[in-house]
Each structure stands twice: as C-alpha cells, then as structure tokens.
Amino acid sequence: MPISPHLPPSSFLLVLLFFSSSSTSIIATTSSSSSASAADSFVFGGCSQLKFPPASPYEANVNSLLTSLLNSAAFSNYNNFTVPASSSSSSQDTLYGLFQCRGDLAAAECSRCVSRAVARLGALCPGACGGALQLHGCFVKYDNATFLGVEDKAEVMRKCGPSIGLTSDALTARDAVLANLGASDGGFRITSSGDVQGVAQCVGDLSAGECGDCVSDAIQRLRMECGAGAWGEMYLAKCYARYFQRGYHSPTGNDDDSSRNDEEVEKTLAILLGLIAGAHTKFTVR
C-alpha cells in the first residue's frame, strides 16, 4: 500500500561504513573495470524507502524537478531548484533538488551525464520520496527536506586501493597531490605530481570557506583510511577527494562498460551501515 506523500522529511544522512550492523541494510557492489575515467560510470546511489502514491501532487513535483535539472544541465554544470507545494497540498510536498557536474566536463558531456543519472535514479528509486545518485561525472539529489546551502561533511562512501608499499618518491608525490588539492580555492580542483593524479570537488551550494573545510576533511580521512594505497576515493555529503597512481587500478569505469556496470550494481558484496531519517534505506555502491 503506498504511503501518503504527506510524510516527514526524508533527509539523507549518507553514511557508508565498511562493516556490518544490525541497523539499515545497504548493498555494496564493485566494478572490475580498470580503464580510464568515464563520466557516467556508477559510484553510489541511495533512496528513501518512503514512497509516494501515483498521480499524487508529490509525483508531479518530482517530475517537474527532474525536468528542470535535465534542462538546466545543458547550460550549466551546477544548479538547484525548489518546487513549492501547491496550495491544496501539504507543505511537506515541497521538493528540493540539485545537480552537479565535474568541473572539467563540457556542456554536452554534463548534459549527457545528468540525463544518465536521472534515468538511473528513476530505475533505482521508483516512487521514492528522496534519492541521490553519484556518477563519476555528475551528482543528482532530491528530497523533501531542504539540504541546499547546508554544510554536511558526513562520510558517504570510501574506497581504497591495495597497500602496495609505495616508494618514497610515489608517497611524496601522493602527499604533494593531496596538499595541492587542499590548498586550492574553488569548487573543482585537479592536480598531478609525478605518477599521481588527484581531483576534488564541492557541491556548488557551499561557500568557498565551507568548500575548503569539506575538502580538507575528505583529504584527512583519505590519508587516515587509505594509508599507502595506490589509489583512494573519499566521498562526503557535499564534496569528494580522489587520487590514483598511474599503472595501478584507477577507481573509474569505462564508457563502453555502462551496461556491465548496470548488472554489477546488483551484485551484493557486503552489508554496510546507512541511515536516512531513521527509515530503512537501501544503498548501492560501486
């Protein structure tokens, strides 16, 4: 039986930790691809288990919001929207959403990525009151509790490459890359040193100071969690930082592998911990 759309806000606290718990179940998956970065390769996604009924005002607002995201992505690499509740419906039918593309994507690539993300989000979270999906090239999120302009450094997802005993030169290069990522101002940062490359980005609704705090926190966690790993990814709720050493598995996918990624999303690798406003929620992670 569908749940009424007049629901408590289904705010996302996206926390994925690599151990099991008796709390919320999350499905984690892995991709075997080790090829170059593809904007539409899957990273993680999640959705509220609270549902809205078909043909409801909430469904109309979801459709309106996602259409606005798709249209805007042809002209900008970031935007956010608020769809107000109608006069005849509850204020909790108000919907908030945003998209964010990687800063080095051209307009056509951004539009394509957001289109893929919205389609995948619809398949992953049919009828969900809230959802979020991260591809390597873009991020899309919507919810009925406002998260716009709210600083949030909760850990969403982390992955670390194997500890291969980096040489002193490689470790120095890795540390230089992370230092450069942490020192740069602005929402998108890319740098390299020796054989190590790195990238970091904040969601566009953060101020410069909030962005710097978020990226610094992500980098600190990367150092602590990934140690001497050949590559690492740290996704917080409003930013991420990644690095990888050439010649080792880069945590990315390949454009030609998109259909294979869709199948791999269904492979259960581990049970992790997650929470969305106290509701049981299924997360899927690359």
| Residue that wins the pLDDT comparison between 38 and 106 | 106
Q: Are 98 and 130 in contact (CB under 8 A)?
A: no
Residue 254 has a pLDDT of 43
Q: Which residue has the higher pLDDT, 229 or 246?
A: 229
Owner of token pair 């979270």: 125
The pLDDT assigned to 76 comes to 94
Comparison of pLDDT for 8 and 103, the residue scoring more: 103
Least confident of 2-16, 35-49, 135-149, 226-240: 2-16
Looking at residue 91, what is its pLDDT? 65
- Decide: helix, strand or coil at residue 20: coil
For residue 33, pLDDT beyond 70: no
Average pLDDT over all residues of the chain: 75
Strand, helix or coil for residue 153: coil
Quick one: pLDDT at residue 99? 97
Per-residue three-class SS string for 222-278: HHHHHCCECEEEEEECCEEEEEEECCCCCCCCCHHHHHHHHHHCCCCCEEEEEEECC
Instruction: Report the range of poorest mean pLDDT among 33-42, 106-115, 174-183.
Output: 33-42
**Token output for 34:** 């080790």
Least confident span in 96-100, 157-161, 234-238: 157-161
Query: Across residues 73-87, what is the average pLDDT?
Result: 90
Residue whose tokens read 């009924």: 53
> pLDDT per residue over 140-188, tens digit each?
999 988 889 888 999 999 999 887 666 788 888 898 999 989 886 667 9
Q: How far is CA 36 from the centre of its chain?
A: 19
Q: Which fold has domain 13-149+268-277?
A: Killer Toxin P4; Chain A (3.30.430)
What average pLDDT does this structure show over 28-44? Answer: 56
- The mean pLDDT of 31-38, rounded to a whole number, is 40
| CA dist list (Å): 267 to 116, 117, 182, 260, 283 | 20, 19, 35, 11, 12
Closest CA to 199 of 217, 220, 184: 184
17 three-class SS = strand
For the entire predicted model, the pTM comes to 0.76
Res. 58: pLDDT tops 80: yes
Q: Delimit the CATH 3.30.430.20 region(s) of the chain.
A: 13-149+268-277, 162-245
Domain 162-245, what fold? Killer Toxin P4; Chain A (3.30.430)
Between residues 22 and 158, which one has the greater pLDDT? 158
CA distances from 204 to 41, 188, 243 (A): 21, 9, 21
15, 66, 197 from 46: Cα distances, Å: 11, 16, 28
Burial degree of 68 (CB within 10 A; 0-12, 13-18, 19+): middle
Average pLDDT over residues 48-72: 92
- The pLDDT value recorded for residue 59 is 92
Burial class (CB in 10 A: 0-12, 13-18, 19+), 249: middle
